[in-house]
């Protein structure tokens, strides 16, 4: 990069038409940027591809720092409805974010942080805070250069903080969306400033296959690619998603429309095993083409966990699994499976180690509650039951009915967050004789508030503070000797991630224990229960935390390992 360009990048005065900064210590070219956009439609699989690419590059020895940009104006994902947006994933530092961050963590076998997640609301808050503080030196603040400049600065800061070899950027949404157009422009500028050898573009497009025609059609993909190019972005590689393998003629049309050589147009059709995709990308030679574009070479992989050998062994376990276990998930978002994505992935991680494959039986809690199905029919033929996290009163009596049934019939049970709270309510009502036992989240006036809100959370609600105000992120739990949970973790103290406001009321600890419930994990600083179990049952374990957020293919969550093992033997 010329000294003139570097000078203009580092200055932010009224005399210049650019607003783009180079952080102290940043070296152009030290970090490479791989930008992934999507066209034709949303939900095309950008997150899955990014995760697979992150795994592939990591196995080649590169340190990858992924980042997801979401165009919505929320500062984070904490207040989004699972029906609209799927699961809210929680990072170790308590950041509530898009579910694709979970895909990245699982792909990298590494914890990420708030800097790996960016929304339109977050970037605009940065801009407005700076404007109020007079940081723009009298300038009229505009999308160009200020919004695009702050985005570029954010990515460069991420590269510095994480010491990344590659920053992998997923641009949420679809090319042509108004809400991500300024971000695409920022990526175009980034390539201009950093150089073509340091910034490359992928476009994940979709090849439709109308049932009435029984053939692949690429016109929508061509239009989407040309729309991307009209924004000044020339893709370097095209990932054609499809239900079935596309013929060479379709790849040729896509190649011609996008100015991308056909050897850099790849087809990823629907795989039954997504864990195979990093190896498929390697076999297709995508990694070698990327090395050419970015002028890099594979490094020595010193990671004792994430490497081609271990990943290949896991894929073989998945392929060779020949036992079937049926897991019932009793929830209220069962029509949107992405609402429980991390749970599904955690089951996928654990099952192959027991030679098993998991079949999910989706059980709508409201159907049990409303009498549309009997509990016997709902839980017929299941080998185990999970009650996941959630909020609000809808469907909770159906969940409580399900928990009572599995407890009395000794069916393996795993409760997560709300699933622990409701397991306590059920046990208190039907074993301890506390018929009015309830959670104050549903019945604030209950005479028996066995699940209650802690004082600081109540204050936040009274002030109408919603976003980012729950008990979020990692908290320690001291595990009791001779407990199932200590056996599974094989540690005295563990940490798991949280996302909730209500807790098991300490006033009721004694009566629960007297009636046979083991409070097996405690956050000692506040005397809050983190794990409960019923020792008399084959497997009945629940946690206030979200153990599903820390599960990885090569190191599955101990909770899910124990649960799946019990289900397999069931």
| Residue 86 neighbours by CB under 8 Å, 6+ apart | 99, 336, 338, 339, 341
Q: Give dist(CA 100, CA 429) in Å, integer.
A: 39
Concatenate the DSSP letters of all residues of 35-64 into one string. EEEE-SSSSSSHHHHHHHHHHHHHHTT--E
What are the C-alpha distances in Å from 360 to residues 48, 63, 146, 330, 349? 21, 35, 48, 10, 14
| Cβ pair 497, 550 in contact under 8 A | yes
- 438 assigned to active site: no
Q: Give dist(CA 125, CA 442) in Å, integer.
A: 34
Q: Give dist(CA 52, CA 50) in Å, integer.
A: 5
Among candidate residues 50, 432, 548, 567, the one labeled active-site is 548
Among candidate residues 60, 85, 500, 546, the one labeled active-site is 546
Q: Chain-centre distance of CA 97, in angstroms?
A: 7
What are the C-alpha distances in Å from 400 to residues 150, 306, 368, 543? 49, 40, 10, 16
- 417 assigned to active site: yes
Q: What is the DSSP letter of 407?
A: H
**Would you tell me how many other CB atoms lie within 10 Å of the CB of residue 374?**
13
Minimal CA–CA distance to 339: which of 364, 356, 358, 359?
364
Concatenate the DSSP letters of all residues of 486-520 into one string. HHHH-SSEEEEEEEESEEE-GGGHHHHHHTT-EEE
Minimal CA–CA distance to 417: which of 367, 451, 368, 460?
451
The number of residues making up the chain comes to: 570
Instruction: For residue 102, count CB atoms less than 10 angstroms from its CB and return exposed for 0-12, middle for 13-18, buried for 19 or more.
Output: buried
Strand partners, 351: none
Q: Give dist(CA 475, CA 348) in Å, integer.
A: 25
| Cβ pair 439, 451 in contact under 8 A | yes
Q: What is the DSSP letter of 88?
A: P
Among candidate residues 97, 417, 432, 448, the one labeled active-site is 417
Strand partners, 70: 119
- 109 assigned to active site: no
Strand partners, 208: 217
**3-class secondary-structure state, position 207:** coil
Catalytic residue set: 417, 546, 548
């Amino acid at each position: 990069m010329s000294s003139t360009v570097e000078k203009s990048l580092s200055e932010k005065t009224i005399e210049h038409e650019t607003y783009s900064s180079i952080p102290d210590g940043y070296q152009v070219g030290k970090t490479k940027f791989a930008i992934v956009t999507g066209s034709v439609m949303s939900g095309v699989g950008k997150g899955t591809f990014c995760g697979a690419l992150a795994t592939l590059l990591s196995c080649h020895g590169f340190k990858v720092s992924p980042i997801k940009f979401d165009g919505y104006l929320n500062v984070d994902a904490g207040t989004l409805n699972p029906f609209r947006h799927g699961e809210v994933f929680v990072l170790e530092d308590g950041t509530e974010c898009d579910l694709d961050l979970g895909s990245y963590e699982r792909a990298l076998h590494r914890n990420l942080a708030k800097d790996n997640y960016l929304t339109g609301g977050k970037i605009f808050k940065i801009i407005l805070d700076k404007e109020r503080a007079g940081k723009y030196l009298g300038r009229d603040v505009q999308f160009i250069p200020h919004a695009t400049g702050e985005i570029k600065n954010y990515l460069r800061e991420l590269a510095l903080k994480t010491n990344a070899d590659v920053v992998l950027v997923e641009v949420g949404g679809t090319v042509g969306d108004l809400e991500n157009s300024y971000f695409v422009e920022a990526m175009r500028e980034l390539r201009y400033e950093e150089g073509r050898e340091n910034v490359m573009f992928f476009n994940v497009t979709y090849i439709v296959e109308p049932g009435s025609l029984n053939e692949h059609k690429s016109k929508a993909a061509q239009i989407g690619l040309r729309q991307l190019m009209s924004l000044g972005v020339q893709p370097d590689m095209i990932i054609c998603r499809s239900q079935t393998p596309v013929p060479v003629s379709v790849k040729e049309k896509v190649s011609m429309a996008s100015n991308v050589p056909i050897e850099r147009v790849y087809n990823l059709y629907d795989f039954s095993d997504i864990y195979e995709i990093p190896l498929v990308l390697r076999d297709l030679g995508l990694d070698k083409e990327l090395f050419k574009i970015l002028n890099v070479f594979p490094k020595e992989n010193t990671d004792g966990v994430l490497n081609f050998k271990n990943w290949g062994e896991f894929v073989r376990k998945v392929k060779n699994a020949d036992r079937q276990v049926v897991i019932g998930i009793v929830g209220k978002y069962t029509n949107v499976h992405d609402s429980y994505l991390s749970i599904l992935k955690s089951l996928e991680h654990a099952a192959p180690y027991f030679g098993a494959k998991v079949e999910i039986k989706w059980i709508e809690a409201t159907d049990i509650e409303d009498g549309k199905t009997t509990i016997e029919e709902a839980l017929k033929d299941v080998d185990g039951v999970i009650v996941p996290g959630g909020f609000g009163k809808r469907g909770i009596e159906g969940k409580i009915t399900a928990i009572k049934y599995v407890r009395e019939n000794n069916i393996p049970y795993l409760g997560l967050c709300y699933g622990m709270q409701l397991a306590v309510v059920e046990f208190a009502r039907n074993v301890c004789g506390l018929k009015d036992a309830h959670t104050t989240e549903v019945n604030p006036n209950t005479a028996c508030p066995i699940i209650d809100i802690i004082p600081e959370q109540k204050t936040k609600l009274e002030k109408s503070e919603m976003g980012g105000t729950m008990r979020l992120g990692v908290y320690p739990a001291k595990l009791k000797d001779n407990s199932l949970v200590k056996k599974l973790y094989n540690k005295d103290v563990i940490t798991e991630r949280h996302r909730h406001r209500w807790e098991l009321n300490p006033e009721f600890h004694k009566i629960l224990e007297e009636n046979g419930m083991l409070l097996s994990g405690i956050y000692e600083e506040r005397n809050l229960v983190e794990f409960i179990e019923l020792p008399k049952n084959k497997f009945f374990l629940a946690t206030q935390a979200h153990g599903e957020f820390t599960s990885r293919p090569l190191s599955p969550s101990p909770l899910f390992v124990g649960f799946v093992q019990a289900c397999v033997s069931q």
